[in-house]
Structure 1
Amino acid sequence: MCDVGETTWLDATAQAELVRRGEVSPAELAEQAIARIETVNPKLDAVIRTRFDEARLEAAGDLPDGPFRGVPILLKDLGCTVAGETTAFGIGPLRDVAFPFTSYLAEHFRAAGFVPLGRTNVPELGTTVTTEPKSFPPARNPWNPDHSTGGSSGGSAAAVAAGLVPVAHANDGGGSIRIPASECGLVGLKPTRGRVSQGPLIGEAWAGSTIDGAVTRTVRDAAGILDVIGKPMPGDPYYAPPLPRPLVQEVGADPGRLRIGWLDRPGLEGYLDDPECRAAVAGAARLLESLGHHVEESAPAAMYDQEIIGHFNTIIAADTEATMRAFELLIGRPIGEDEIEPRNVAYRRAGKDLGAVAYLQSRSWLEAWARRMADWWTGHDLLLTPTVGAPPPELGWFTAAGPEEEGVRIISFIPYTAQFNMTGQPAISLPLHWTPGGLPVGVQLVAAYGREDLLVRVASQLEQAAPWSDRHPPIHA
């Protein structure tokens, strides 16, 4: 048996290999991860619900012989529902409600051999970029517990960064995989639209902007997890272009000499423009040049069209109201405005007042805009940007500002991520920079639609040139 110290910082790929070789059992890996969660999580509130007894039985039983057999994982408390288990979506009235169905995504994780240990903290409905929900304690950043983990996959990111588990489920509607990855020093790969099924209940959410994935410590784990969850399912409204081969085979593959454009500051006033984020891009650009790529200052002209925010908020408002009505049916009563956060009250009110024609007009505008955005990639392979507009802010910076100012601050903080939810393109955040105070700052690479293979090749190349796996936060297992 391997002791806790031997497996804590092994990635999921390495842990699965130990299981295959018989050097550690799934039950031993589960016990080690449970011990880490029990010891460290009280300092972080990354995990808000556990299923340790069920996990012990599963790990000791006949697990599927998938590529991650026996590896412990945490599931985000938003999406990835499992029949008979609670998924609260960050909403207090759902904290004790068991869902009646299992998502395809949860089935894929189980078929891969993962052993889920519990659920991670999220902001309410995932509609903000910090994990400080009204109904649950705030998630704390293991690099500095007074700072945000990001959102909406903030609990997942804190848990992986602190070494509680090697990987955790995450999803992304406006940056919610990449933002927490940046703020917690992890790899966060957002897949192409349609790559991961949201069925059987959901065809698309936020007009196709949402997608599931994971936060990881290594590029090979990000690739391997997308290989096992990126399966088209019957009835999906659209499928992503098939990849030429499994993404794990792209790890270490030569990407060739690429043409990469970079952008290090927002194109409009009102967004945060931090020198540490510019420094992160400058460092990544130099590294890419040293690896033989052509790097130039260039970005899509449509990146900061002033109409984007209004149309995207229309989509979110409509989806928020529809989702809340579904939850009200599930619990058998209305959810009062005093039970949810002012941000989501505002979205509900806007969604109720929204007409079908206005909603469709916003979708149509965004579809035309996405075509203008995509044209830039006919002359470039990748776009390099900061992941977010500033290093991790202190807890309360968003939530204590008041409802109107909170919305302004949310928008100001994400100049680079939500655009690629609306276009559906794949993007990855990599931990290539830290502030003098020790806070992580990620950089984002964006590829053309369907080109996760190219992202994995380049991300792997950067990981080899500037390794980050030996950096651990002050609060860790």
Structure 2
Amino acid sequence: MTTSEEQSQGRGEARTTVHVFRDDALGDLDAVGLAAAIRRGEVSPAEVAKDAAARVRDADARLDAVQVHLDIPAHGAPGGGAFAGVPTFVKDNTDFAGLPTGHGSAAFRPRPARRHAAFTRQLLSTGVTVLGKTRLPEFGFSPTTEYEEGPPVRNPWNTGHSAGGSSGGSAALVAAGAVPVAHANDGGGSIRIPAACCGLVGLKPTRGRTVPNAQGRQLPIDIVVDGVVSRTVRDSAAFLAAAELHHRNAKLPSVGLVEGPGKRRLRVGLLVDSPNGARTDEDTRAAVTETARRLERLGHTVTPVELAIDPRFTGDFLTYWGMLSFLIGATGRTMGTGFDRHRMDGLSRGLRETYVRNWRNTPAVVRRLKRTREAYAAAFRGQDVILSPVLAHTTPPLGHLAPSVPYATLVERILAYVAFTPVNNVVGTPSISLPAASTTPDGLPIGVMFSGRPGAERTLLELAFELEADRPFPSIKNA
């Protein structure tokens, strides 16, 4: 394991950066490159799994990103696949046969899953080798992977800061170089937020692009979609193409394999401040406006755009999340033994209790949230994509968003941070988080986000390829 320590600018604190890149079977390869090396016989899947497991152990000792290690790696589709032999992890809110699914919660003792979840089967169809499960905040509600008890997941770029959430464990492992890609899912930003915090590519697909979540299908609005976090655009593109071979949604245009920038020059709408009123901080604002200037230099047209969503959207989204917490509290016994909703953490309890006081508003809340698609469509008149921040401010230190913070203060902080991502979950549209060319003064990544119309993943990936080729993403090895 390689670590570096330096004084964080302006705070006098030691910054510890953790990465586990080394001269082994994985080297510096991304998933596409590693799969190619395996196909050529330069390394074997067994060698890769062994070296990846060693990297994971080293990284996890400092980052606390892993929930469960598999004693024997679980190999994917025997017939191969685009990612045959590539090591990965499944997020611990998704069933993997024989392993418990803990959902990041201390409120129950999880039982081993009897069978794979539908998305687990889709992930395995790409040929990956699963090494275990990654940690997440309780039930995926928080934008940081922290707990009332137990260590937080730490950001490998600066271990004193959040790795984001809810796919924080997956993002930490990928950013540190332990595995090239890892499973993530997104119900309010949970792919894009940790990608932004950890300097990764995080594509939230269109609703229904990957196999639907069984629980989500039963809700009035299915806000959750599965995918991966990766270090390169081509890994995210290759995953989506491989996943589409397993599940092809006939209602959406096929993405296919995107392998580089597109030729079409795009009309890009620029949204710097959030529609919920949260003002973007200066470092994030600078990263987004610099990205806009790069796009113009590359021949794209950038103009300011307004996303005129209902002013009640933020409160309505919180109410909807409160409904999810309420339903978990009511049905938690199905997850494992000894479930006690009073042992849910402060954020989960606060969301639930707020919902109980306002549950009669649920029909109106759902109606208003569904109408958000009209405002979203209006913002795209004359635009191909929209550029915005992922988050309203840069990655906070650990503790700022911890579930032990009093609920009223915690919600205020979350809303001032997670101000852009939830709209795509409600509308069901794709968006991608990319590392900005610059980092913060103290060396943390900043994410910029591109959002598209339903089914526009190809456009987003082509634009992401172009930006990556124009200026390589910041490397943790140089942090």
On whether the aligned pair clears a TM of 0.5, the verdict is yes
Equivalent of 1:100, from 108, 114, 118? 114
* Correspondence for 1:459: 464
* Correspondence for 2:270: 262
Is this contact kept in 2: 1:207–1:315, CA < 8 A?
no
* Correspondence for 1:417: 421
Is this contact kept in 2: 1:318–1:350, CA < 8 A?
no
Range 285-294 or range 319-328, more displaced: 319-328
Report deviation, 1:288: 0.5
Match of 2:181, as an amino acid?
Answer: V
In the aligned structure 1, how far is the partner of 2:77 from the partner of 2:304?
Answer: 53
Is this contact kept in 2: 1:124–1:341, CA < 8 A?
yes
* Correspondence for 2:57: 38
Is this contact kept in 2: 1:8–1:163, CA < 8 A?
no
In the aligned structure 1, how far is the partner of 2:428 from the partner of 2:161?
Answer: 30
In the aligned structure 1, how far is the partner of 2:390 from the partner of 2:215?
Answer: 31
Equivalent of 1:394, from 397, 400, 405? 397
Q: Does 1:220 align with 2:234?
A: yes
Equivalent of 1:427, from 426, 431, 449? 431
Structure 1 residue runs without a partner (length 5+): none
In the aligned structure 1, how far is the partner of 2:292 from the partner of 2:411?
Answer: 32
SS, match of residue 416 in structure 2: helix
Report deviation, 1:361: 2.2
Match of 1:213, as an amino acid?
Answer: G
Report deviation, 1:199: 4.4
Report deviation, 1:365: 1.2
Report deviation, 1:74: 1.0
| Greater strand content | 2
Q: Alpha carbons of 1:418 and 1:176: their partners in 2 closer, same or farther (altered >3 Å)?
A: same
Match of 2:100, as an amino acid?
Answer: T
* Correspondence for 1:285: 292
CA RMSD of aligned residues (A): 2.3
SS, match of residue 92 in structure 1: coil
Q: Does 1:209 align with 2:223?
A: yes
Is this contact kept in 2: 1:82–1:102, CA < 8 A?
yes
* Matches for 1:3-402 after TM superposition, within 5 Å: 4-5=23-24, 7-51=26-70, 53-55=71-73, 58-59=74-75, 63-79=78-94, 81-94=95-108, 96-200=110-214, 202-203=216-217, 207-230=221-244, 239=249, 241-246=251-256, 248=257, 250-269=258-277, 271-302=278-309, 305-337=310-342, 339-352=343-356, 355=359, 358-399=361-402, 401-402=405-406
In the aligned structure 1, how far is the partner of 2:339 from the partner of 2:93?
Answer: 20
* Correspondence for 1:450: 455
* Correspondence for 2:16: none
Is this contact kept in 2: 1:131–1:148, CA < 8 A?
yes
TM-score by length of 1: 0.90
In the aligned structure 2, how far is the partner of 1:176 from the partner of 1:211?
Answer: 10
1:163-195 CA-partner distances (Å, limit 9, x unpaired): 000001001111111111011000000001111
Is this contact kept in 2: 1:90–1:122, CA < 8 A?
yes
Q: Alpha carbons of 1:310 and 1:470: their partners in 2 closer, same or farther (altered >3 Å)?
A: closer
Is this contact kept in 1: 2:206–2:430, CA < 8 A?
yes
Report deviation, 1:221: 0.7
Percent identical residues: 36
* Correspondence for 1:437: 442
1:128-167 CA-partner distances (Å, limit 9, x unpaired): 1111023442000111100001111111111100000000
Q: Alpha carbons of 1:358 and 1:85: their partners in 2 closer, same or farther (altered >3 Å)?
A: same
Match of 1:67, as an amino acid?
Answer: A
Report deviation, 1:3: 7.8
Report deviation, 1:462: 0.5
1:45-100 CA-partner distances (Å, limit 9, x unpaired): 1112111x220xx45x9834111111000111122x12221111001244542123
In the aligned structure 2, how far is the partner of 1:91 from the partner of 1:296?
Answer: 44
Is this contact kept in 1: 2:122–2:211, CA < 8 A?
no
In the aligned structure 1, how far is the partner of 2:263 from the partner of 2:392?
Answer: 28
Is this contact kept in 1: 2:346–2:407, CA < 8 A?
yes
Is this contact kept in 1: 2:90–2:183, CA < 8 A?
yes
Is this contact kept in 1: 2:108–2:337, CA < 8 A?
no
In the aligned structure 1, how far is the partner of 2:268 from the partner of 2:371?
Answer: 24
SS, match of residue 449 in structure 1: coil
| Greater helix content | 1
In the aligned structure 2, how far is the partner of 1:468 from the partner of 1:253?
Answer: 16
Q: Alpha carbons of 1:185 and 1:331: their partners in 2 closer, same or farther (altered >3 Å)?
A: same
In the aligned structure 2, how far is the partner of 1:64 from the partner of 1:188?
Answer: 27
SS, match of residue 192 in structure 1: coil
Aligned length: 457
